[in-house]
Structure 1
Amino acid sequence: MNAPASRKLLVIDDEIQIRRLLRLALGGDGYTVFEAETGQLGLQEAVARQPDGIILDLGLPDMKGVEVLRRLREWSRIPVLILSVRAGEDDKIDALDAGADDYLTKPFSGRELLARMRAVMRRAQPNDESALVSFGDIEVDLAARLVRRGGEEVHLTAKEYALLRLLVRHRGKVVIHRQILREVWGPSAEDNTHYLRVHMTHLRQKLEANPQVPKHLKTDAGIGYRLVE
Protein backbone atom coordinates (compact mmCIF):
# COMPACT_ATOMS: atom_id res chain seq x y z
CA MET A 1 0.00 0.00 0.00
CA ASN A 2 1.74 3.17 -1.18
CA ALA A 3 1.31 6.65 0.25
CA PRO A 4 -0.04 9.40 -2.00
CA ALA A 5 2.83 10.97 -3.93
CA SER A 6 2.08 14.38 -2.44
CA ARG A 7 2.66 13.23 1.14
CA LYS A 8 5.68 14.91 2.75
CA LEU A 9 7.55 13.54 5.75
CA LEU A 10 10.24 15.18 7.86
CA VAL A 11 12.83 12.94 9.53
CA ILE A 12 14.60 14.48 12.56
CA ASP A 13 17.48 12.18 13.51
CA ASP A 14 21.21 12.77 13.98
CA GLU A 15 22.27 9.34 12.66
CA ILE A 16 23.01 9.57 8.95
CA GLN A 17 22.59 5.80 8.52
CA ILE A 18 19.08 5.92 9.99
CA ARG A 19 18.15 8.89 7.80
CA ARG A 20 19.42 7.05 4.73
CA LEU A 21 17.45 3.92 5.66
CA LEU A 22 14.28 5.93 6.25
CA ARG A 23 14.71 7.88 3.02
CA LEU A 24 14.92 4.63 1.07
CA ALA A 25 11.98 2.97 2.85
CA LEU A 26 9.70 6.00 2.83
CA GLY A 27 10.67 7.16 -0.64
CA GLY A 28 9.94 3.70 -1.96
CA ASP A 29 6.45 3.96 -0.49
CA GLY A 30 5.70 7.22 -2.28
CA TYR A 31 6.63 9.80 0.34
CA THR A 32 8.72 12.90 -0.28
CA VAL A 33 11.29 12.93 2.53
CA PHE A 34 13.07 15.90 4.11
CA GLU A 35 15.79 15.55 6.75
CA ALA A 36 17.17 17.40 9.77
CA GLU A 37 20.00 16.28 12.03
CA THR A 38 19.27 18.56 15.01
CA GLY A 39 16.20 19.61 16.94
CA GLN A 40 16.52 23.29 16.06
CA LEU A 41 16.91 22.56 12.36
CA GLY A 42 13.97 20.15 12.62
CA LEU A 43 11.71 22.87 14.02
CA GLN A 44 12.80 25.25 11.26
CA GLU A 45 12.13 22.62 8.61
CA ALA A 46 8.72 21.87 10.11
CA VAL A 47 7.77 25.52 9.59
CA ALA A 48 9.31 25.78 6.11
CA ARG A 49 8.16 22.42 4.71
CA GLN A 50 4.78 22.01 6.44
CA PRO A 51 5.12 18.20 6.33
CA ASP A 52 2.20 15.80 6.61
CA GLY A 53 4.06 13.80 9.26
CA ILE A 54 7.27 13.79 11.31
CA ILE A 55 9.54 10.97 12.43
CA LEU A 56 11.47 12.13 15.50
CA ASP A 57 14.41 10.64 17.41
CA LEU A 58 14.60 11.38 21.15
CA GLY A 59 18.43 11.51 21.33
CA LEU A 60 19.37 14.67 19.43
CA PRO A 61 22.67 16.55 19.88
CA ASP A 62 21.29 20.01 20.68
CA MET A 63 18.07 19.37 22.62
CA LYS A 64 15.93 16.52 23.86
CA GLY A 65 13.48 15.09 21.37
CA VAL A 66 10.69 15.56 23.91
CA GLU A 67 11.48 19.28 24.01
CA VAL A 68 11.30 19.43 20.21
CA LEU A 69 7.91 17.76 20.45
CA ARG A 70 6.63 20.15 23.11
CA ARG A 71 7.70 23.19 21.08
CA LEU A 72 6.12 21.75 17.95
CA ARG A 73 2.84 21.14 19.78
CA GLU A 74 2.66 24.82 20.74
CA TRP A 75 1.52 25.57 17.20
CA SER A 76 0.91 22.36 15.25
CA ARG A 77 -0.93 19.03 15.32
CA ILE A 78 1.29 17.43 12.65
CA PRO A 79 1.33 13.69 13.44
CA VAL A 80 4.61 12.61 15.05
CA LEU A 81 6.03 9.10 15.22
CA ILE A 82 8.85 8.69 17.75
CA LEU A 83 11.68 6.43 16.60
CA SER A 84 14.15 5.73 19.41
CA VAL A 85 16.56 3.20 20.89
CA ARG A 86 15.00 3.98 24.28
CA ALA A 87 12.61 1.18 25.10
CA GLY A 88 11.83 2.14 28.71
CA GLU A 89 8.22 2.66 29.76
CA ASP A 90 8.97 6.10 31.23
CA ASP A 91 10.48 7.32 27.94
CA LYS A 92 7.41 6.18 26.04
CA ILE A 93 5.02 7.77 28.54
CA ASP A 94 6.94 11.08 28.49
CA ALA A 95 6.87 11.19 24.68
CA LEU A 96 3.18 10.32 24.44
CA ASP A 97 2.27 12.82 27.15
CA ALA A 98 4.22 15.50 25.25
CA GLY A 99 2.06 14.91 22.18
CA ALA A 100 3.56 12.00 20.22
CA ASP A 101 1.07 9.98 18.17
CA ASP A 102 3.01 6.69 18.30
CA TYR A 103 6.33 5.22 19.47
CA LEU A 104 8.53 2.72 17.64
CA THR A 105 11.73 1.27 19.09
CA LYS A 106 14.95 0.77 17.12
CA PRO A 107 15.79 -1.60 15.51
CA PHE A 108 12.60 -1.75 13.48
CA SER A 109 11.26 -3.39 10.34
CA GLY A 110 10.49 -1.26 7.33
CA ARG A 111 7.02 -2.78 6.98
CA GLU A 112 6.08 -1.95 10.58
CA LEU A 113 7.41 1.59 10.21
CA LEU A 114 5.32 2.20 7.09
CA ALA A 115 2.22 0.68 8.67
CA ARG A 116 2.55 2.81 11.81
CA MET A 117 3.17 5.96 9.75
CA ARG A 118 0.06 5.34 7.67
CA ALA A 119 -1.94 4.72 10.86
CA VAL A 120 -0.93 7.93 12.63
CA MET A 121 -1.61 9.97 9.51
CA ARG A 122 -5.05 8.41 9.10
CA ARG A 123 -5.91 9.32 12.68
CA ALA A 124 -4.61 12.86 12.40
CA GLN A 125 -6.97 15.80 12.28
CA PRO A 126 -6.55 18.16 9.32
CA ASN A 127 -3.65 20.45 10.11
CA ASP A 128 -5.35 23.82 9.68
CA GLU A 129 -3.17 25.63 12.22
CA SER A 130 -0.60 28.15 11.08
CA ALA A 131 2.69 29.01 12.73
CA LEU A 132 2.08 32.68 11.88
CA VAL A 133 -1.06 34.41 13.17
CA SER A 134 -1.92 38.06 12.57
CA PHE A 135 -4.60 40.35 14.00
CA GLY A 136 -4.62 44.11 13.60
CA ASP A 137 -0.97 45.20 13.44
CA ILE A 138 0.07 42.28 15.68
CA GLU A 139 1.94 39.27 14.29
CA VAL A 140 2.52 36.18 16.45
CA ASP A 141 5.12 33.69 15.21
CA LEU A 142 4.29 30.59 17.26
CA ALA A 143 7.21 28.56 15.92
CA ALA A 144 9.84 31.21 16.67
CA ARG A 145 8.05 32.44 19.83
CA LEU A 146 8.15 36.02 18.58
CA VAL A 147 5.53 38.78 18.78
CA ARG A 148 5.69 41.89 16.62
CA ARG A 149 3.59 45.04 16.63
CA GLY A 150 3.79 47.19 13.53
CA GLY A 151 6.83 45.17 12.46
CA GLU A 152 8.71 45.81 15.73
CA GLU A 153 9.40 42.99 18.17
CA VAL A 154 7.47 43.21 21.45
CA HIS A 155 9.10 41.82 24.58
CA LEU A 156 6.71 39.65 26.58
CA THR A 157 7.42 37.82 29.81
CA ALA A 158 7.13 34.02 29.75
CA LYS A 159 3.67 34.15 31.37
CA GLU A 160 2.45 36.93 29.09
CA TYR A 161 3.54 34.96 26.04
CA ALA A 162 1.95 31.74 27.36
CA LEU A 163 -1.32 33.61 27.95
CA LEU A 164 -1.27 35.15 24.47
CA ARG A 165 -0.37 31.83 22.85
CA LEU A 166 -3.32 30.11 24.54
CA LEU A 167 -5.75 32.78 23.33
CA VAL A 168 -4.26 32.65 19.82
CA ARG A 169 -4.68 28.88 19.66
CA HIS A 170 -8.36 29.27 20.62
CA ARG A 171 -8.94 32.54 18.75
CA GLY A 172 -12.55 33.49 18.34
CA LYS A 173 -13.57 31.34 21.32
CA VAL A 174 -13.98 32.19 24.99
CA VAL A 175 -11.29 30.57 27.15
CA ILE A 176 -12.55 30.35 30.73
CA HIS A 177 -10.55 31.62 33.69
CA ARG A 178 -9.90 28.18 35.18
CA GLN A 179 -8.58 26.78 31.92
CA ILE A 180 -6.19 29.70 31.45
CA LEU A 181 -4.91 29.50 35.02
CA ARG A 182 -4.49 25.74 34.80
CA GLU A 183 -2.58 25.81 31.52
CA VAL A 184 -0.44 28.88 32.19
CA TRP A 185 0.17 28.71 35.95
CA GLY A 186 -0.63 25.08 36.77
CA PRO A 187 -3.50 23.17 38.48
CA SER A 188 -2.82 24.68 41.91
CA ALA A 189 -3.47 28.21 40.59
CA GLU A 190 -7.03 27.71 39.35
CA ASP A 191 -8.52 30.06 41.96
CA ASN A 192 -5.92 32.84 41.63
CA THR A 193 -7.81 35.02 39.15
CA HIS A 194 -5.82 38.10 40.24
CA TYR A 195 -2.78 36.61 38.43
CA LEU A 196 -4.80 36.64 35.27
CA ARG A 197 -6.13 40.17 35.63
CA VAL A 198 -2.63 41.60 36.18
CA HIS A 199 -1.07 39.79 33.23
CA MET A 200 -3.95 40.59 30.92
CA THR A 201 -3.59 44.28 31.83
CA HIS A 202 0.12 44.15 30.96
CA LEU A 203 -0.58 42.29 27.72
CA ARG A 204 -3.14 44.87 26.63
CA GLN A 205 -0.74 47.71 27.44
CA LYS A 206 1.84 46.15 25.14
CA LEU A 207 -0.45 45.10 22.27
CA GLU A 208 -3.60 47.22 22.20
CA ALA A 209 -3.78 50.73 20.69
CA ASN A 210 -6.22 51.63 23.49
CA PRO A 211 -5.71 49.25 26.44
CA GLN A 212 -8.78 50.67 28.21
CA VAL A 213 -11.01 49.77 25.25
CA PRO A 214 -9.33 46.66 23.81
CA LYS A 215 -10.11 45.72 20.24
CA HIS A 216 -8.59 42.23 20.21
CA LEU A 217 -8.09 40.95 23.78
CA LYS A 218 -11.70 40.90 24.92
CA THR A 219 -13.20 40.16 28.34
CA ASP A 220 -16.30 38.03 28.77
CA ALA A 221 -17.30 39.24 32.22
CA GLY A 222 -17.22 36.54 34.87
CA ILE A 223 -16.31 33.87 32.32
CA GLY A 224 -12.95 34.40 30.63
CA TYR A 225 -11.16 36.03 27.71
CA ARG A 226 -11.10 35.66 23.95
CA LEU A 227 -9.01 36.89 21.07
CA VAL A 228 -10.89 38.70 18.32
CA GLU A 229 -9.04 39.07 15.00
Structure 2
Amino acid sequence: MPYSTSRASTDVSVAQALKVSLSVNKSWFTPGDYLVAVARVTDAYGNPVANKEVRFYITDSYLYWIATETTDMNGYANITWTVPWDIGGDKLPCTKRYIQAYAMPESVGSDKIPVAFAYPTRLSVSTDKKTYNPGEIVKVSVKLEYNDFGTWKPLAGRTVSVTFAGNTQSASTGSDGTASVSFTAPSTPGTYSVVAEFKGEGLATTLATTLVEIITSQPVMMFITGALVLTPILAPIIITELGKAIR
Protein backbone atom coordinates (compact mmCIF):
# COMPACT_ATOMS: atom_id res chain seq x y z
CA MET A 1 0.00 0.00 0.00
CA PRO A 2 1.52 3.30 -1.00
CA TYR A 3 1.81 6.22 1.45
CA SER A 4 1.72 9.86 0.55
CA THR A 5 4.52 12.32 1.25
CA SER A 6 4.21 14.58 4.28
CA ARG A 7 6.29 17.35 5.78
CA ALA A 8 6.45 19.17 9.14
CA SER A 9 8.55 22.05 10.37
CA THR A 10 9.22 24.04 13.54
CA ASP A 11 11.39 26.97 14.46
CA VAL A 12 14.37 26.74 16.82
CA SER A 13 16.61 29.53 18.02
CA VAL A 14 20.33 29.34 18.63
CA ALA A 15 21.26 31.22 21.74
CA GLN A 16 24.04 33.72 21.60
CA ALA A 17 27.25 32.34 23.07
CA LEU A 18 27.95 34.34 26.21
CA LYS A 19 30.62 34.57 28.84
CA VAL A 20 30.09 36.00 32.34
CA SER A 21 33.01 37.12 34.46
CA LEU A 22 32.68 38.17 38.10
CA SER A 23 34.74 40.00 40.72
CA VAL A 24 34.08 40.83 44.39
CA ASN A 25 35.59 43.63 46.49
CA LYS A 26 37.05 41.29 49.15
CA SER A 27 37.08 37.69 50.32
CA TRP A 28 35.47 37.97 53.79
CA PHE A 29 32.61 39.95 55.29
CA THR A 30 30.78 40.60 58.54
CA PRO A 31 27.08 41.53 58.86
CA GLY A 32 26.58 45.14 57.88
CA ASP A 33 29.51 45.15 55.44
CA TYR A 34 29.00 46.10 51.82
CA LEU A 35 29.63 43.31 49.33
CA VAL A 36 30.36 44.87 45.95
CA ALA A 37 30.12 42.51 42.99
CA VAL A 38 30.86 43.39 39.38
CA ALA A 39 29.80 41.09 36.54
CA ARG A 40 30.66 41.53 32.87
CA VAL A 41 28.87 39.84 30.01
CA THR A 42 30.61 39.37 26.66
CA ASP A 43 29.84 37.45 23.49
CA ALA A 44 31.88 34.73 21.85
CA TYR A 45 34.21 37.35 20.38
CA GLY A 46 34.80 39.23 23.63
CA ASN A 47 32.49 42.08 22.75
CA PRO A 48 30.40 43.57 25.58
CA VAL A 49 26.72 42.68 25.68
CA ALA A 50 24.52 45.57 26.78
CA ASN A 51 21.04 45.47 28.33
CA LYS A 52 21.49 41.92 29.55
CA GLU A 53 19.80 40.90 32.80
CA VAL A 54 22.25 39.56 35.37
CA ARG A 55 21.18 37.81 38.56
CA PHE A 56 23.51 37.53 41.53
CA TYR A 57 23.36 34.65 43.99
CA ILE A 58 24.95 33.43 47.21
CA THR A 59 25.41 29.70 46.81
CA ASP A 60 26.30 26.60 48.79
CA SER A 61 24.06 23.62 48.17
CA TYR A 62 21.31 26.10 47.24
CA LEU A 63 21.07 29.31 45.23
CA TYR A 64 20.03 32.38 47.25
CA TRP A 65 19.10 35.30 45.01
CA ILE A 66 20.44 38.64 46.33
CA ALA A 67 20.10 41.13 43.46
CA THR A 68 19.38 41.67 39.77
CA GLU A 69 20.99 44.28 37.55
CA THR A 70 21.17 45.10 33.82
CA THR A 71 24.45 45.45 31.96
CA ASP A 72 25.50 48.87 30.70
CA MET A 73 26.91 49.65 27.25
CA ASN A 74 30.26 48.16 28.31
CA GLY A 75 28.67 44.91 29.47
CA TYR A 76 29.03 45.63 33.20
CA ALA A 77 26.45 45.01 35.91
CA ASN A 78 27.31 46.19 39.43
CA ILE A 79 25.61 45.58 42.78
CA THR A 80 26.25 46.69 46.35
CA TRP A 81 24.69 44.27 48.84
CA THR A 82 24.51 44.88 52.58
CA VAL A 83 25.47 41.59 54.23
CA PRO A 84 22.67 40.40 56.57
CA TRP A 85 22.90 38.21 59.65
CA ASP A 86 21.15 35.33 57.92
CA ILE A 87 20.03 34.22 54.48
CA GLY A 88 17.41 31.63 53.68
CA GLY A 89 16.87 31.17 57.42
CA ASP A 90 20.52 30.20 58.00
CA LYS A 91 23.11 32.27 59.85
CA LEU A 92 25.79 33.73 57.63
CA PRO A 93 28.58 34.28 60.22
CA CYS A 94 31.01 31.38 60.60
CA THR A 95 30.21 30.04 57.13
CA LYS A 96 31.96 29.89 53.80
CA ARG A 97 29.83 30.37 50.72
CA TYR A 98 30.19 31.35 47.05
CA ILE A 99 28.89 34.23 44.99
CA GLN A 100 27.90 33.66 41.39
CA ALA A 101 26.28 35.68 38.58
CA TYR A 102 23.99 34.43 35.79
CA ALA A 103 23.15 36.10 32.48
CA MET A 104 19.45 35.66 31.79
CA PRO A 105 17.45 34.18 30.19
CA GLU A 106 20.29 32.00 28.90
CA SER A 107 21.30 31.04 32.48
CA VAL A 108 24.97 31.34 31.61
CA GLY A 109 26.85 31.43 34.89
CA SER A 110 30.14 32.90 36.00
CA ASP A 111 32.74 31.01 37.96
CA LYS A 112 31.96 30.68 41.67
CA ILE A 113 33.96 33.06 43.88
CA PRO A 114 34.49 31.83 47.47
CA VAL A 115 33.59 34.29 50.25
CA ALA A 116 33.67 33.87 54.03
CA PHE A 117 31.37 35.42 56.61
CA ALA A 118 32.56 36.16 60.15
CA TYR A 119 31.15 37.45 63.41
CA PRO A 120 32.22 41.03 64.17
CA THR A 121 34.68 41.13 67.07
CA ARG A 122 35.99 43.86 69.32
CA LEU A 123 38.86 44.14 71.79
CA SER A 124 39.38 46.36 74.79
CA VAL A 125 42.72 46.72 76.56
CA SER A 126 43.63 48.38 79.84
CA THR A 127 46.53 48.61 82.28
CA ASP A 128 46.49 48.67 86.07
CA LYS A 129 47.64 52.31 85.95
CA LYS A 130 48.81 54.89 83.43
CA THR A 131 52.18 55.94 84.80
CA TYR A 132 55.08 53.70 85.75
CA ASN A 133 58.65 53.99 86.92
CA PRO A 134 61.36 52.13 84.99
CA GLY A 135 61.47 48.48 86.04
CA GLU A 136 57.93 48.41 87.41
CA ILE A 137 55.52 45.64 86.43
CA VAL A 138 52.92 46.69 83.86
CA LYS A 139 49.78 44.57 84.20
CA VAL A 140 47.66 44.40 81.05
CA SER A 141 44.07 43.13 80.78
CA VAL A 142 42.34 42.35 77.48
CA LYS A 143 38.70 41.55 76.77
CA LEU A 144 37.58 39.92 73.51
CA GLU A 145 33.91 39.93 72.43
CA TYR A 146 31.89 38.98 69.36
CA ASN A 147 28.61 40.36 68.06
CA ASP A 148 25.80 37.84 67.70
CA PHE A 149 22.71 39.43 66.11
CA GLY A 150 23.43 42.77 67.79
CA THR A 151 24.45 41.42 71.22
CA TRP A 152 28.09 41.53 72.30
CA LYS A 153 29.15 38.29 74.01
CA PRO A 154 32.48 37.09 75.52
CA LEU A 155 34.62 35.11 73.10
CA ALA A 156 36.37 32.38 75.08
CA GLY A 157 39.25 30.09 74.20
CA ARG A 158 40.84 32.40 71.64
CA THR A 159 44.46 33.53 71.51
CA VAL A 160 45.18 37.24 71.79
CA SER A 161 48.63 38.81 71.58
CA VAL A 162 49.76 41.94 73.42
CA THR A 163 52.77 44.04 72.40
CA PHE A 164 54.50 46.58 74.65
CA ALA A 165 57.86 48.29 74.22
CA GLY A 166 58.95 45.80 71.54
CA ASN A 167 57.94 42.70 73.48
CA THR A 168 54.98 40.47 72.64
CA GLN A 169 53.12 37.97 74.81
CA SER A 170 50.16 35.74 74.00
CA ALA A 171 47.36 34.49 76.21
CA SER A 172 44.09 32.59 75.84
CA THR A 173 40.79 34.21 76.79
CA GLY A 174 38.77 32.71 79.61
CA SER A 175 35.03 32.07 79.78
CA ASP A 176 34.47 35.79 80.36
CA GLY A 177 36.52 36.70 77.29
CA THR A 178 39.39 38.20 79.29
CA ALA A 179 43.12 37.50 79.34
CA SER A 180 45.98 39.04 81.32
CA VAL A 181 49.71 39.45 80.72
CA SER A 182 52.51 41.38 82.45
CA PHE A 183 55.54 43.30 81.22
CA THR A 184 58.48 45.09 82.82
CA ALA A 185 58.52 48.82 82.18
CA PRO A 186 61.54 49.83 80.06
CA SER A 187 64.39 51.88 81.47
CA THR A 188 63.93 54.70 78.96
CA PRO A 189 61.27 57.27 79.93
CA GLY A 190 58.56 58.09 77.41
CA THR A 191 55.04 57.27 76.24
CA TYR A 192 54.51 53.70 75.02
CA SER A 193 51.64 52.00 73.23
CA VAL A 194 50.09 48.79 74.49
CA VAL A 195 48.58 47.01 71.49
CA ALA A 196 46.28 43.99 71.78
CA GLU A 197 45.51 41.91 68.68
CA PHE A 198 43.13 39.10 67.73
CA LYS A 199 43.94 37.70 64.31
CA GLY A 200 40.40 36.58 63.58
CA GLU A 201 41.12 32.95 62.72
CA GLY A 202 42.46 33.75 59.27
CA LEU A 203 39.92 36.47 58.52
CA ALA A 204 39.71 39.94 60.02
CA THR A 205 42.26 41.23 62.54
CA THR A 206 40.90 43.17 65.51
CA LEU A 207 43.14 45.68 67.29
CA ALA A 208 42.94 47.68 70.51
CA THR A 209 45.45 50.22 71.78
CA THR A 210 46.10 52.17 74.97
CA LEU A 211 49.00 54.40 76.05
CA VAL A 212 51.14 54.30 79.18
CA GLU A 213 53.85 56.70 80.30
CA ILE A 214 57.19 55.69 81.78
CA ILE A 215 58.59 58.47 83.93
CA THR A 216 61.96 59.06 85.62
CA SER A 217 61.75 59.27 89.38
CA GLN A 218 64.58 61.72 90.09
CA PRO A 219 65.98 61.48 93.62
CA VAL A 220 66.13 64.79 95.50
CA MET A 221 69.17 65.76 97.57
CA MET A 222 68.99 66.52 101.28
CA PHE A 223 71.94 68.08 103.04
CA ILE A 224 72.41 67.20 106.69
CA THR A 225 75.62 68.36 108.35
CA GLY A 226 77.57 67.88 105.16
CA ALA A 227 76.29 64.35 104.37
CA LEU A 228 74.59 63.58 101.02
CA VAL A 229 71.58 61.26 101.25
CA LEU A 230 68.69 60.39 98.95
CA THR A 231 65.00 60.89 99.64
CA PRO A 232 61.90 60.57 97.43
CA ILE A 233 60.51 64.02 98.29
CA LEU A 234 60.00 66.51 95.52
CA ALA A 235 62.08 69.48 96.70
CA PRO A 236 65.43 69.83 98.56
CA ILE A 237 65.33 70.45 102.29
CA ILE A 238 68.26 72.18 103.99
CA ILE A 239 68.57 71.67 107.73
CA THR A 240 70.01 74.88 109.22
CA GLU A 241 69.78 74.39 112.95
CA LEU A 242 68.15 72.24 115.56
CA GLY A 243 64.80 71.06 114.30
CA LYS A 244 64.36 73.92 111.84
CA ALA A 245 64.30 73.54 108.13
CA ILE A 246 64.26 76.06 105.31
CA ARG A 247 62.60 74.95 102.04
Q: Shorter-normalised TM-score: what interval?
A: under 0.3
Greater CA radius of gyration, 1 or 2?
2
Q: As a proportion of its length, which structure holds more helix?
A: 1
Task: Give the structure-1-normalised TM-score.
Answer: 0.23
Q: As a proportion of its length, which structure holds more strand?
A: 2
Task: Give the structure-2-normalised TM-score.
Answer: 0.22
